[in-house]
């Protein structure tokens, strides 16, 4: 399981006072109002912990001001950098909900216990998620709808998802 979750990517600067336009990659962009700290991952692989001073919304962006920076020149280099938070600061899940990052790499197993492949991506379509599975032997991609008729069990401890192979799925 992952210890950090991406909440946004810095798209550009905003104004001259060191604010940045963040494209939110979280289900709830309003959470930026409550965030106190984020970690900035630079293009060079550095990790910089930043304090969120303020957050407001404009179109599809969250305009974020960090306490550490007061000038456009200081934040210009962060364009394209991702912002992450610690797992303890993530949105709380309801029973039966999972973080997409925790599903990555899980074995996909049919009801008879045969390993079919591994989860390689989670696609959020709006109606329901779709799990992209990479087949073990062929590297082919199979798209599994995340619906009760198909997904029988998700077991993070055993690192597997048990599915019912519906007609036409493979």
The string of pLDDT tens digits covering residues 57-116 is 998 999 999 999 999 999 999 999 999 999 888 888 888 888 888 899 999 999 999 999
Torsion of CA 109, 110, 113, 119, to 10 degrees: 0
- What is the C-alpha separation between 116 and 145, in angstroms, rounded? 15
The span from the first CA to the last CA of the chain, in angstroms, equals 28
| pLDDT tier at 1, thresholds 50, 70, 90 | low
| pLDDT tier at 170, thresholds 50, 70, 90 | confident
Structure confidence by residue, pLDDT tens digits, 144-168: 999 999 999 999 999 999 999 888 7
Mean pLDDT, range 126-145, rounded to an integer = 89
Task: State residue 73 phi and psi, 5-degree precision.
Answer: -65, -30
């Amino acid at each position: 399981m992952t210890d950090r979750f991406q909440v946004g990517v810095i798209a550009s600067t905003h104004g001259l006072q060191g604010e940045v336009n963040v494209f939110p990659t979280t289900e709830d962009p309003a959470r930026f109002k409550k965030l106190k700290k984020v970690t900035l991952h630079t293009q060079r692989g550095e990790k910089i912990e930043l304090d969120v001073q303020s957050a407001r919304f404009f179109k599809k962006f969250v305009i974020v001001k960090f306490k550490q920076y007061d000038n456009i020149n200081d934040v210009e280099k962060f364009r394209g950098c991702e912002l992450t938070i610690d797992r303890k600061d993530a949105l709380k899940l309801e029973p039966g909900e999972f973080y997409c990052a925790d599903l990555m790499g899980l074995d996909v197993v049919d009801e008879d216990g045969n390993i079919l492949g591994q989860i390689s991506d989670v696609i959020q379509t709006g109606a329901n998620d779709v799990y992209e599975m990479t087949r073990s032997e062929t590297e082919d991609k199979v798209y599994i709808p995340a619906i009760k008729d198909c997904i029988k069990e998700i077991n993070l401890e055993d690192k597997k998802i048990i599915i019912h192979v519906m007609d036409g799925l493979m």
